[in-house]
Structure 1
Amino acid sequence: MRVTNNMMSMTMYSSMVKSNAAYYETASKMATGNRLLRPSDDPLAARSIQDLQHQEAMVNTYMNSLDTMEATFMAADSYLTQMNSVCDRITEIAVLIGSGTASPEEREAYAAELEQLNEALALQVNGTSPTGYYMFGGNVTDQPPLVEVTDSVTGETTWEYQGDTGSRPVPVAEGITIDTALSPFADLFGSGDDIFNVLDDTVEVLRDPNATPEEVSQASQDLLDATEEFQNALNQSLAELGGKMNMVDDMQLSHTDNLMFNQQLQGQLGDLDYAQASIDLSESMVALQAVQKTYIDISQMNLFQMM
């Protein structure tokens, strides 16, 4: 086979293009820090990285849910703790009025304070989460769970609970959910002996100049009973909430560890070995320069120099 000038030039040019491509590919990898510039560089590693990235995205979704949940539970814990403090003061007043020694002026002062405490307690029961929904109405989150309703016939105003006792499970890991619905007071309403309606009744008795000592004493006892029942529900809810908050903490810690391990695996599969890349880059440069010099030398040779 006769080797022509053109064939030699094309062969050297092709070698120079390949050497140039190898050099710039290694340089691009060093610039990005990625061993894989395209899936075809290592299909198996590329697929593994894709799977790991999918897992990472799922874990990040769980983490976002847990962060929102943590903020909501902390807000709920704060509201419930404040309610406990209000109930402690209501209990103190109930004991004082039950002693039967309060003057008419003192009874009026107690009545005014109980009104304020009732309003404060209602605001806390209708507390909202950091994202703006009502927290203590179960699955009813778009309206206050506790409302005052006025009878159109008698004009009498009573407190009613308009939430439910449903659950609202939120996934926090594969196959694991945490119920975010809170309805600690749903079972206290319906008979009229809940703390809110009893507070109103107590205020009415304290402001009645004709109320007998027996009626005042009974109002005191009814208020003590209603407050105790409400606080029992509070404390049970606080205990359940504490368990959920511990679970949130555990899941956040577990996911954080998983994310770190996931990222380490991605790094092992996709990060560039700079030491080896530097060697490859130097070798590519030497090869490129050698091909370029040979190509130039051959292109400048005449027929007699080749013989």
Structure 2
Amino acid sequence: MRVSMLNLYSNNLQSLQQSTVDISKLNQMMASGKSILRPSDDPIGSVKVINSQRDMAATNQYINNTESLSTSFGRAETYMSSMVELQNRMREISVAANNGSLSPEDRAAYAAEMSELLEAFADTVNAKDEGGNYLFSGNLTDTAPIAKDASGNYVYQGDTNHREVQTSGSSWMTANSTAAEFIFANGSADILNQTKDFIAVLEDPTLAPGDPLFSQTATDMLTSLDDTLTSISSAITDIGGKQNTLSLIQTAHEERVLFNEEVIGETEGLDYAQATAEFNLKLTTLKVTQQTFVQVSQLSLFNHI
């Protein structure tokens, strides 16, 4: 009789403890919205969730890279477009100033405006991003790409290196253009020093259109403008193509993130209706078990006499 009563007592206590554990687990699941609280709940599902989370983290990093790269390209394109606008005005002045009917004062006025355009152009080439890094100096982002040497000539101070940014698991994209490429790598003289020389000719009252030095400098100016405009336009076109590619890559990454979110949701997401029904059932079972346990714990040998 003692053995039977002890077994009955132990079974009820064990059932009571198990129901309490089950209800606690269901509470955690409903609070977190997850059906897998620990790997042992579903080893295969847990591995699938971990793999999806890892892939999603990498993909989100690629999305951040493409967004940052797109912003950088947009900023560079804006400054390059400003360079084109400045050079368009330089061309207008170069053509207008090569007119024999102008007075020395007229040419001096054009020289003054050209000086302002040259200064604005150099400042634009020395543009920085929001972090204070120079955009067009290669990897020497803390060094202004354009400066003047002891002789007053414009020189390039950056390097010709390019930064590569990873945009997917298997692809990288060049992130920057250098002033060395679109200003100092043309067949003609660079636009900065050529403009400086043309200004000097315009300011010289002894020189006028028709003089060999004036004519040659004016011709060289237009040639330099053509070459530089071609280089900068090519850089802008390249940026446009990269922006289109980034847009496609980012769309693909965003779809991949959504896919991983769906996999994770389907694998560990909780069916609240089913969980609620199970919770109510477990709660009822716990109440019954508690009542039974109370009754069993009060039994003794004298109750059976």
Q: Give TM-score scaled by structure 2 length.
A: 0.93
Answer whether contact 2:145 2:179 (CA < 8 A) is retained: no
SS at match of 1:3: helix
Which range moved further: 141-150 or 185-194? 185-194
Asked whether the equivalents of residues 135 and 141 of structure 1 are also in contact (C-alpha less than 8 Å), the reply is yes
- Any idea what the Cα deviations from partners look like across 1:233-279, whole Å, max 9, x if unmatched? 01110111111111111111111111111111110111101111011
Count of equivalent residues: 302
Output one character per residue of 1:128-168: Cα deviation in whole Å (capped at 9) or x when no partner. Answer: 22333222222332211111111xxxxx3101122333232
1:44 partner SS: helix
Percent sequence identity over matched residues? 31
Q: Deviations over 1:85-128 (max 9, x none)?
A: 00100000000111222212211111111111011111111112
1:172 corresponds in structure 2 to 167
Alignment of 1:119-268 (within 5 A): 119-150=119-150, 156-183=151-178, 185-186=180-181, 188-189=183-184, 193-213=189-209, 214=211, 215-268=213-266
Q: Which residue of 2 aligns with 1:153?
A: none
Match of 1:108 in 2: 108
Deviates more, 1:192-201 or 1:53-62: 192-201
Report if aligned partners of 1:184, 1:237 keep a CA contact under 8 Å in 2.
no
- Cα distance between partner residues in 2 of 1:292 and 1:114: 95
Deviation at 1:179? Answer: 0.6
Deviation at 1:209, TM superposition (A): 1.7
Deviation at 1:219, TM superposition (A): 2.4
Q: Provide the C-alpha distance between the structure 1 equivalents of 2:176 and 2:257, rounded to a whole number of angstroms.
A: 28
1:290 matched to 2:288? The reply is yes
Q: Is the 8 A contact 2:107 2:203 kept in 1?
A: yes
Q: For each residue in 1:220-245, what CA deviation from the matched residue of structure 2 results, as whole angstroms up to 9, or x when unmatched? A: 22211111111010111011111111
Structure 1 CA distance, aligned partners of 2:184 and 2:255?
45
Residue pair 1:164, 1:186 contacting (<8 A) in 2 also: no
Q: Match of 2:149, SS? A: strand
Following superposition, the deviation at residue 50 of structure 1 comes to 0.9
Counterpart Cα distance in 2 of 1:299 and 1:188? 94
Contact 2:76–2:135 (8 Å) recurs in 1: yes
Q: Could you tell me how far 1:2 is from its partner in structure 2?
A: 5.5
Q: Deviations over 1:47-96 (max 9, x none)?
A: 11111111111111111111111111000010011111001000000001
Residue 210 of structure 1 aligns to a residue whose secondary structure is: coil
Q: State the Cα distance separating 1:306 from its structure 2 match.
A: 4.0
CA distance in 1, matches of 2:248, 2:130: 22
Determine if contact 1:167/1:181 at 8 Å carries over to the other structure: yes
Specify every segment of 5 or more residues in structure 1 that has no aligned partner in the other structure, as ranges: 151-155
Once the two structures are TM-superposed, the CA of residue 280 in structure 1 deviates from its matched residue by 0.8
Supply the distance in 2 between the matched residues of 1:188 and 1:37 (Cα, whole angstroms): 61
Over 4 Å off, 4+ runs:
none
Change (3 A) 1:306 1:89: farther
1:55-70 to 2 correspondences below 5 Å: 55-70=55-70
Q: Which residue identity is paired with 2:243?
A: M
Superposed CA offset, 1:172-213 (max 9, x none):
101111111212543643888211111111111111122243
Counterparts of 1:80-99 in structure 2 under 5 Å? 80-99=80-99
* Matched position secondary structure for 2:204: coil
SS at match of 1:12: helix
Q: Is the 8 A contact 2:156 2:179 kept in 1?
A: no
Alpha-carbon distance in 2 for matches of 1:105, 1:218 = 21
SS at match of 1:174: coil
- Structure 2: which amino acid aligns with 1:218? Q
